[in-house]
Amino acid sequence: MLYVNRRTAEVIKYAANAFLATKITFINEIADLCECVGADVQDVARGMGFDNRIGAKFLHAGPGFGGSCLPKDTTALLKTAHDHGAQLRIVETVAAVNEQRKRAMPRKVVAALDGSIRGKTVAVLGLSFKPNTDDMRDSPSIPLITALHDLGATVRGYDPAAMEQAKPYLPRRDLLRQRLWGGGGRRRRGDRDRMGTIPRARPRSAAMPHGAAGDCRSAQHLSRRRNEAANFRYLTVGRPAAERYAETAMPRRRKTPNAKTIAALAEAL
């Protein structure tokens, strides 16, 4: 146990959450780079996490951080610094980049649906700020839903835990009551542990003429072959476009190689 004075305890709390927000924002920007150069941000984050000085937690690319802690404490730390004449340029940048990240998500939906979503139905799967909670405070889904409405789309939503709290943001008729639903585009925000999966290799029907899924959290890993068989496009963050980087795609390992494997690879090199 650490005994400190009240001022120090307050700064510890704010600084810790601001640092976690910085890690999230950093990996989100690395995800943008990965999309440009043909890398996979999940593999990048996994490789970085092997370094104990960095750690693997809070290195998962997504639509930006939200909730009741990180945004509030980041803002409080900046306000405290401003009141006392201190400059926290890194934290200021983190807050600004996170807001830009949230505004970038609707553009990914528009790009997935051929440049226009007016008159189309977009389904948002996962509404709370993180999986397995009903907390909608400062959730990245809120500006996403608002922007999609402003661009002329009909937005439908589902969350296994936050349906009641999501009512102020979506009309009751647009709150879906089951995991598998129809929509012109499918927008997945929640992680795989409670959200189920997008139906596999189900061909598009007349009810879904625009088969596209935008995965803000890289929660699904659907093969290009399966999507092509279903005539269904799958776009995610931090991964290269399959059409552009198919020749460089590496098979994904589900287990970390053991010491013997690593030694053999080192000897071969």
Cite the active site residues.
69
Backbone angles phi, psi at 117, to 5 degrees: -120, 5
H-type helices in the chain, by residue range? 6-37, 41-49, 70-83, 89-112, 141-150, 192-195, 224-229, 242-245, 259-268
| Phi-psi sector, 231: left (phi>0), alpha (psi -120 to 50), beta | left
Q: How far apart, in whole angstroms, are the C-alpha atoms of residue 35 and residue 42?
A: 12
Q: How far apart, in whole angstroms, are the C-alpha atoms of residue 243 and residue 134?
A: 37
| Helix/strand number for the chain, H first, E second | 9, 5
Q: Which long-range contacts (CB under 8 A, 24 or more apart) does 218-227 make?
A: 218/41, 218/42, 218/60, 218/61, 218/62, 219/188, 219/190, 219/191, 219/192, 219/195, 220/188, 220/192, 221/252, 222/198, 226/200, 226/201
* DSSP code for 36: H
